Structure 1
């Protein structure tokens, strides 16, 4: 995939976020690993107005080039990609139900076995930190240890993937799990699957590639 193709695919993913109802306005952002750093969506620009030239190229030292400024959340995109060699895409959005739980500082526990698709027995909620800060990036990195997704306290969610399709799939799944969890909480605290059962679930998922997006397979550096 060429650089232009990757940029176009990033914009398409952003539009899919809006169509899926997991993002609105100019909220949210997407980044893709490159050989020299990352590509990231620009700050404060509606997705339906973006063109490939608006996507910002960044190095891991925070330097950037292009027609527009990078997303204000570039720090956690840069830091996650630097820390997580197993992923190539970082997707952040303010999906309604995941954000509602984040406003309560509630992680998503293993009330349903599909919580395991994020890599563990829960989807953690990071403590609140001001948007765009190193403190927020540090909190996100901690919440994402051994996980493919997390919530951000009073903010939104982050989902990771080996490619754009996988990261978008994860974000939609996190939102679905958050929606179901909030519905269950409206009746009462749901029972939580024990760790030994979740260990069996995670083992089964790993052996079956269960819950992976259709294109979630190892991709070369720089691929979407």
Structure 2
């Protein structure tokens, strides 16, 4: 294992532990992947994060269809990770989790509208909610790719959420921001009727964000 490979694998484990510590996910739910040359490194299936070691991270060829190497099989959600990285060359990492408020909106099959200008951090005026299909299925992957058109995050109906980034740090930041936005929207609906920003106002924010490197 090269030093670069070890560093990537270690960063994946650190991100997993961060997700648990911050409450973005619990138990063994959630999974992460990182682009590594022509391959993808992805968390193993059903492995507690506290006991995960770098060698347990599975390696999958991006040009493959489920082939993997490692002592443990990849996450059961490997398909949408693989498809996202193949479809989006600008993306270097994919984070999937089940944060409480984002998942609650996904259970209600609601998208997140422009209730706050930070929705622009995900590429547009909404965070879409992908339709429902069984976890790990090709049908779910197709729905995810559609919901992620021109976006860097989406909800998954009755399931959870996905956030993307050119780096793992950026994808993790987006997952945290996504859950914050979801919580704000849920609380605002309890307080009254949220006022939604216009497309023009979000376009203005998107233009301002260009200087902050938030495109991928």
- TM interval, short-chain normalised: over 0.9
Asked whether 1:161 is paired with 2:165, we answer: yes
Higher relative contact order (CA 8 A, sep 6+): 1
Per-residue CA deviation, residues 141-188 of structure 1 (Å, 9 max, x unaligned), is 000010010000000000001111111100000000000000011123
Write out aligned runs for 1:1-224 (5 A): 2-60=4-62, 61=64, 62-206=66-210, 208-209=211-212, 212=214
Quote how far apart the aligned CAs of 1:189 are: 2.7
Mapped to 1, the partners of 2:104 and 2:156 lie a distance apart of 11
Shift of 1:191: 1.3
TM-score, length of structure 1 as denominator length: 0.92
Cα drift, residue 87 of structure 1:
0.8
Q: For residues 198 and 113 of structure 1, what CA distance do their matches in structure 2 show?
A: 6
Q: Unpaired segments of 5 or more residues in structure 1?
A: 218-224
RMSD: 1.3
Distance apart, 1:108 and its partner CA: 0.4
Deviation at 1:112, TM superposition (A): 0.7
Deviation of 1:196 (Å): 1.1
Query: TM-score by structure 2 length?
Result: 0.95
Give the Cα–Cα distance (whole angstroms) in 2 for the partners of residues 189 and 105 of structure 1.
18
Distance 1:191 1:41 in 2: 39
Structure 1 stretches of 4+ moved >2 Å? none
Gap regions ≥5 residues in structure 2: none
Which residue does the alignment assign to 1:220?
A: none
Looking at structure 2, the residues matched to 194 and 6 of structure 1 have their Cα atoms a distance apart, in angstroms, of 40
Q: Distance in 1 between matches of 2:149 and 2:208?
A: 21
Equivalents in 1 of 2:109, 2:167: separation in Å? 28
